Structure 1
Amino acid sequence: MKKLLFYYICIVLVFVSCSKKKKEPRTTNNNLVELQREEMNFLPSDVLQLKSYYLSSPVETDSVHILVGYNYKEHALDCMDLLNKKISQIPLQIEGPNAITRLTGIFAYKKDSIWISDESESVFLVNHEGLTMKRIHVRDYLQEEEELIINTNHAMSTIHLYYNAAHQSLLCTVKDRSTSPVRFKVKEIFIEENKEAKTFDLLPSVVEPDISKGYANMSEPNVNFRDGYILYNYPIESHLYRANLTTGISEIYPADSEYTTNQAEKCKSKTDYSEWEKHGFENPHFFDLMYIPRYDMYARLHIGPIDFKEDENPEIIAHKRDLYLCLFDNKFNKIKEAKLPSNTFSPYTGWSQTDSGILLFVDKITDQDNSEDLELNIFHPIFINL
């Protein structure tokens, strides 16, 4: 019996060592990179665009510079041409067998091939006219206790949809409620219907193995993707995680901020929403890891804590919070951390990666200027002292 127990422990240790590799902390060298700020203004057009978009995606291919954002007021996709400063709109179907409800995710593969997910747990491929070319019922690939979680919410988490062109597959994040604590997975669903889906388990946070209890709204991971990898992290703490889609192995990288605390405290209440709201404001929130292809570099935004008073307007307080940008090289060495201009950008996940930088929507809520013009800033990394 003792021999069997010994062998079991050995097997567990080998499994853990193969599925998780934790890297040593590195020192930031802020002299390696500068941030160049590019400002963009879109003149008024026939499109009733938003001031900022909480859900957006750059077009991945075709060598075009277009950002696709969900216009929830028009139930349409707004296509922002970043070179010509023009906006066009793709209306989405609201009736019929392929009716699309409120969007949860966008992955703009090409101008004429945009993958979107909605609240019905379905993923659609739409063309430049908004017509549905393909519909995949993700629910058909899930177990009873599994739940699709593609979501972009500034108070909760940022979980992206992804299309892997090389595999002809969709990557979707799933919450598995059959275990305690709940587990998070990524399902790879192949467009070829007779091919079985693959499952990749995400590691729990190294700081808090069960983020579903005690952290109010921040109870799910952030999940993003790039070719061959799942990029994930947790809103409550600063580590970065990357899973290899070939081996399934995850690596963990320390990525502490020098500006804020690096772990959220637990919420005082499990049921009082006013305490949940306060908890969200008075703790840091780390957002998803983004990839900048031109420089083979990663970026992460996070927002700092701020004192919350119940008699203040939550929207104004949200805009007053400090926003920080961290840049990492392809080995996850942190090479830049900077505080971005205050009271300037939308705090409601109003940003996206581009081919060469990080794009943020300008939304100065306390300005006297009530213009609805669309204004963007892109922060490009510029290498120095190499």
Structure 2
Amino acid sequence: MNFTKLKIFYALIFILACNPSEEKKEDIKELKLKISPIAIEIDTLGKYSYEVFTFKNQENLKFITYNNTTHSIEFYDLKSKKLSKRIFLEADGPKAIGNVQGLYYHNQDSIFIYSRGIINIINESYSKEANPNLFSLIENYDFKFEPFFNHHFRLYYIPEIKSIPLSNKYFDPQLKISPEKEQISLFDISNFKIKPLPYFQTEPTASDFEYGFLNYSTISQPFNGNFFINQVYSPITYQFLLNSENLHEVINANKIHHKKNKNPENWEPHAVESNFYNQLEKLNDSTFVRFVWNGTEYNPKENGFLKKELTLQVFDEDFNLIKEFNLAKNTYYLYSWFVAQSKIYLQIDHPKNLEISESKLLLHEIELVSI
């Protein structure tokens, strides 16, 4: 090998060693959080914290909530910081809607509202379009479950497949989980058919199925017909791909921070000491985020849930964990957040937060910025 070829050889080694993707990952690690407060004056009917909510993703982003005290849907404009609309729901008559467990705003003509067993579809003028009864439909299938929505598994509509993901809740007095049963289904609103998806309990539940409410599934906001799903107790995350009946594993974990509990009566120390993994959300084309509610030592003399701290995890486009941020203590709860316009919105609703006021709805707008 002559001297010229030798120089070329070492140059190629240098170029290959400087992997552009590695440089990109190093660059993106230099991140910080830009936190902007949002304070909205609320009237005598409003609340300072909401468990059931959705949003209207337009130029003027609107935070849309269900007020269980007034049985109404409220539209808060996050730009003007004002209540822009309130729709009072009826409890009786042809337009009656029961207690709301799930809420999703698709457009002004299609607002999806779930009350036990019923998918109500209304417009912003409260004209009722449809109200399919899921309990009646499920009776026609071999599998029997109750469709379930809560702050772990929120209501969403996927227009690309005209379907609503359902959480399949199999009730058992001993809080047991059946590993052979599908945990989610798709309800097609175009033909009123329900199709279970091949998503089952993940490890380490194969040998022990008593986990209390930690067995809940969590689901992300749909994007391009896709969505993410995981179990609250596990960081292992799967992606549902459009026009596919399979789930693709995108985040695996060598170690699952989960403590088995064979006695369902001890659910409280089990839940306090375990990590809760919230849903993975797409922040932008190259970044994904999720929150982890960290486990803490259990003390029977105090409410351990109020001691659990919140961590924001940031993943790159290949689902590699690239950054973690520990958020301020006693500020947020795990479930009160959503992603819109490449930003994270969190309600300030921790019971120990001294900023809480019954006259204001408080949120933080969080943006990831490069240093």
TM superposition score category, shorter chain reference: 0.7 to 0.9
Q: Is the 8 A contact 1:58 1:353 kept in 2?
A: no
Distance 1:181-1:203 versus aligned 2 partners, 3 A rule: closer
Letter in 2 for 1:152: N
CA distance in 2, matches of 1:319, 1:364: 8
After TM superposition, give the deviation of residue 256 of structure 1 in Å: 5.3
Partner in structure 2 of residue 81 of structure 1: 77
Q: How far, CA to CA, are the matches of 2:53 and 2:350 in structure 1?
A: 19
Task: State the partner residue of 1:16.
Answer: none
Instruction: Please give the residue correspondences for 1:1-386 in structure 2 after superposition, counting only pairs within 5 Å.
Output: 31-44=29-42, 46=43, 48-60=45-57, 62-87=58-83, 88-119=85-116, 121-142=117-138, 143=141, 145-153=143-151, 158-175=152-169, 180-193=178-191, 196-209=193-206, 213-224=209-220, 225-254=222-251, 262-270=256-264, 272=265, 275-292=266-283, 294-295=284-285, 297-312=287-302, 314=303, 317-347=304-334, 349-367=335-353, 371-372=357-358, 373-384=360-371
Q: Is the 8 A contact 2:240 2:248 kept in 1?
A: yes
> Whose radius of gyration is greater, 1 or 2?
2
**Residue type at the aligned position of 1:308:** Y
How many pairs are equivalent? 337
What SS does the aligned partner of 2:136 have? helix
Please list every run of at least 4 consecutive aligned residues from structure 1 whose deviation after the TM superposition is greater than 6 angstroms: none
Q: Structure 1 residue 303: deviation in Å?
A: 0.5
State the distance in 2 between where 1:276 and 1:353 align: 31
Residues 254/118 of structure 1: CA separation in 2 closer, same or farther (3 Å cut): same
Q: Partner of 2:278: helix, strand, or coil?
A: strand
Contact 1:299 1:325 in 2 (8 A): yes
Q: Secondary structure at the match of 1:237?
A: coil
Unaligned runs of 5+ in 1: 1-27
The 2-side partners of 1:210 and 1:116 are apart by: 37
Which residue matches 1:7?
A: none
User: Identity over aligned residues, as a percent?
Assistant: 21
Q: CA separation of 1:345/1:246 partners in 2, compared to 1, >3 Å: closer, same or farther?
A: same
Whole-angstrom distance in 2 between the partners of 1:269 and 1:204: 19
Amino acid at match of 2:336: G
Q: TM (normalized to structure 2)?
A: 0.81
Partner deviation per Cα, 1:197-236 (whole Å, 9 max, x = no partner): 444221431433377x221221232123332223101111
Aligned equivalents of 1:277, 1:165: Cα separation in 2: 39
Q: 1:255 to 1:381 in 2, by over 3 A?
A: farther
Once residues 33 and 41 of structure 1 are traced to their aligned partners in structure 2, the CA distance between those partners, rounded to angstroms, is 26
The farther-off stretch of 143-152 and 228-237 is 143-152
1:140 is paired with a residue whose SS is helix
C-alpha root-mean-square deviation of aligned residues, in Å? 2.8
Residue-by-residue CA offset, 1:318-351 (whole Å, 9 max, x unaligned): 333110111223332223211111111134x122
